[in-house]
Amino acid sequence: TDSDTADEAVRATCDDASTCKRFATSKGYWTDLYVQYFVRQIGERKAPEINRGYYGRVRGMNLLIDAFLKKTRCDCQVVNLGAGLDTTFWRLKDENIMPKKFFEVDFPMIVARKIHHIKTKPPLSKPLIETHSTDSLVLDGHSLDSDRYCIIGADLRDLPALEEKLKKFQINPELPTLFLSECVLVYMTPEKSSKLLNWVAHTFPTAMFINYEQVNMNDRFGQIMIENLQRRQCNLAGVDVCQSLDSQKERFLSAGWESVKALDMMTVYSMLPREDVARIERLEFLDEKELLHQLLQHYCICWAVKDKLSLGLSQIGF
Ligand code: SAM
């Protein structure tokens, strides 16, 4: 059906993200020891502005993730929604800042692929086994559960099923919980994503939600971005919410979140540690500064909190 084709195009986007991350790390933009096990080939060259854009995305997300782990002293959970082939769990393990439990959710087909990689590559499976107390890891084609890491096949648009699966794998709603969605909500209708944000806000009294996606899409450059995705049958069903930073914030406030901040990536990029930015800007010559600026102005990070336990989550920022 049409909707199967649409979902298939959306699923394919996780390879794009990881392929770009793989390429940028091969150039030295940042270190990721694990992405190579999910994407074998370095692949064709990416333009310097794309690499810098991914650098800002990964550094920006990581700064907020690490700040949440610090505030909660790792006495928390992380739920990565639409995780794709993301490697954050392995980074946190190596840096000794693992949450109590790290959950990942994606379509069953993507999850099956990720589980296959984990099963067949010791550098991926070893950290799971090391942090697991018994001999038995729960493993079937569509989910994997260990003490500290769990990956679940589910459709984020089907909340009853999502809730049931998270419960089955012992999510604790009372524990401070960090939700991540990196280039995910934009593929869902505004109605579906707002239901998801609502459900999180009303189920987890102490929580933070970090969303990375397109913004300022109602100009010429935004139009070209949309056309490029449509050419690959990839429908940005949620693009209506990507009109402005205010509309990004409003979706969280109307879903019941207490406070919310949003910055475009141009601003985030300018707030990243100067020495490291200077280092990566020397890696590749960038001819067209204007193109990078355009790109950065069309993505944002938005983060919202609910803080029943009064941990000071609203202080988290750049
Ligand atoms: N977050 C990862 C990253 O940034 O590297 C992957 C991003 S990729 C652009 C989008 C991911 O969201 C894909 O893996 C896709 O399968 C997943 N996704 C989109 N809609 C989803 C849905 N309704 N249910 C589950 N996963 C979904």
Model pLDDT for residues 193-234, shown as the tens digit of each residue: 999 999 999 999 999 999 999 999 999 999 999 998 888 878
- Helix (H, G, I), strand (E, B), or coil: what is residue 276? helix
Q: What is the DSSP letter of 100?
A: S
| Atom 15, ligand 1: residue with shortest CA distance | 11
- Cα→Cα distances 238→37, 63, 210, 215, Å: 31, 26, 16, 11
Q: Which stretches in the chain have pLDDT values below 50? A: none
In this structure, are strands 77-81 and 101-106 parallel, antiparallel, or unpaired? parallel
- Whether 32 is in the pocket of ligand 1, judged by its Cβ within 6 Å, is no
Name the nearest CA neighbour of 177 among 84, 300, 304. Answer: 304
What are the structure tokens assigned to 132, written together? 């697991």
In this structure, are strands 77-81 and 177-182 parallel, antiparallel, or unpaired? parallel
Q: Which atom of ligand 1 is nearest to the CA of 192?
A: 23
172 alpha carbon – ligand 1 mean position (Å): 23
Which residues partner with 138 through β-bridges? 145
What are the structure tokens assigned to 225, written together? 């971005």
235 alpha carbon – ligand 1 mean position (Å): 13
184 alpha carbon – ligand 1 mean position (Å): 5
CA distance 273 to 94: 22
What are the structure tokens assigned to 159, written together? 């909340």
φ and ψ at 230, to 5 degrees? -65, -35
Query: Which value does ipTM take for this structure?
Result: 0.99
- Cα→Cα distances 297→43, 111, 126, 217, 285, Å: 27, 32, 40, 10, 20
- Whether 269 is in the pocket of ligand 1, judged by its Cβ within 6 Å, is no
φ and ψ at 40, to 5 degrees? -70, -50
CA distance 317 to 147: 30
Is the four-CA dihedral 70, 55, 9, 195 of positive or negative sign? positive
81 alpha carbon – ligand 1 mean position (Å): 7
CA distance 261 to 254: 14
Q: pLDDT at position 7, please?
A: 85
170 alpha carbon – ligand 1 mean position (Å): 22
Name the nearest CA neighbour of 305 among 76, 137, 132, 28. Answer: 76
- Whether 183 is in the pocket of ligand 1, judged by its Cβ within 6 Å, is yes
CA distance 149 to 102: 5
Q: Which atom of ligand 1 is nearest to the CA of 14?
A: 8
Among 7, 18, 102, 106, residue to substitute to test ligand 1 (most atoms within 8 Å of Cβ): 106
- Whether 82 is in the pocket of ligand 1, judged by its Cβ within 6 Å, is yes
